[in-house]
Amino acid sequence: MPFSPQPFPARTASHRRPYASSLASTCALAALLLTGSSHLGAASAALMPPSAPSAPQPRGSLHEEILRLLDSPDALPREADWARLGPEALSELLGIVTHPRSSEPQRSRAVAALAVVAHPEASLRLQEMLRSPVSAVRAAATLALGRRSGLEAVPVLAPLLADPNEQVRATAAQTLGRVGGAEVRKALEERLPVEESLAVREAIQQGLSYIEP
């Protein structure tokens, strides 16, 4: 079935948040998203109900189920929900990410879902998205790759501390802090004194607070 994204309702002016609030919410999402990984949050993952084996779904129903899972802006991607969709979910999610008619929230949630989709190429696709010209995609890919790959992602996530976009830098700081390790501590400590954005400095300090001394 050809991809046909379903746009989300436009927010009214009263629902638009200032940039600082949006940045804070992104950092909060980083903390939440990273707790679901087998690398970073085994305790949380253990609480998830196991996914039962299921027969492959027809293409149309797979697309509809993916749109349904992406439809809730407050829901984090759960491994149990996505594992049952099988590896074909990867191509559907990539279609949503790259389609010009996808809304930004829908696109970001599709990237986030790549953290738990059952396909061996998902990590490589997320690394490619770190070079996206769209800052929201880079930020979402940072979160998802940190969740999916843990310490293995540090060499590709650390350079994002110098990304031109504040939201991406702050997200990278939070994500790396959750991953932890001596290499991450060194990268965050080196970035802190040269970071000009107050919001990003706060994110770096928060990231450092996650790392055990």
Highest mean pLDDT among 9-13, 17-21, 112-116 belongs to: 112-116
CA distance 77 to 166: 24
pLDDT classification of 135: cutoffs 50, 70, 90: very high
List, for residues 16-37, the tens digit of each pLDDT value.
333 344 444 444 444 444 433 3
Backbone angles phi, psi at 43, to 5 degrees: -65, -45
- Per-residue pLDDT at 204: 98
What pLDDT was estimated at residue 84?
A: 80
DSSP 125-139: HHHHHTT-S-HHHHH
Q: Is the pLDDT of residue 124 over 80?
A: yes
Confidence (pLDDT) at 72 = 65
pLDDT of 61 above 60:
yes
User: What pLDDT sits at residue 167?
Assistant: 96
Flag the least confident range among 35-49, 73-87, 96-110.
Answer: 35-49
Q: How confident is the model at residue 139 (pLDDT cuts 50, 70, 90)?
A: very high
- The whole-number pLDDT of residue 75 equals 56
Rank 50-64, 85-99, 135-149 by mean pLDDT and report only the highest: 135-149
Topology (CATH) of 19-45+55-210 = Leucine-rich Repeat Variant (1.25.10)
**Percentage of the residues of the chain whose pLDDT score is greater than 70:** 69
Q: What is the 3-state secondary structure (H, E, C) of the chain?
A: CCCCCCCCCCCCHHHCCCHHHHHHHHHHHHHHHHHHCCCCCHHHHHCCCCCCCCCCCCHHHHHHHHHHHHCCCCCCCCHHHHHCCCCCHHHHHHHHHHCCCCCHHHHHHHHHHCCCCCCCCHHHHHHHHCCCCCHHHHHHHHHHHHHHHHHHHHHHHHHHHHCCCHHHHHHHHHHHHHHCCHHHHHHHHHHHHHCCCHHHHHHHHHHHHHCCC
Residue 59 in this model has a pLDDT that exceeds 90:
no
Q: What is the mean pLDDT of the chain?
A: 76
- Of the two residues 120 and 73, the one the predictor is more confident about is 120
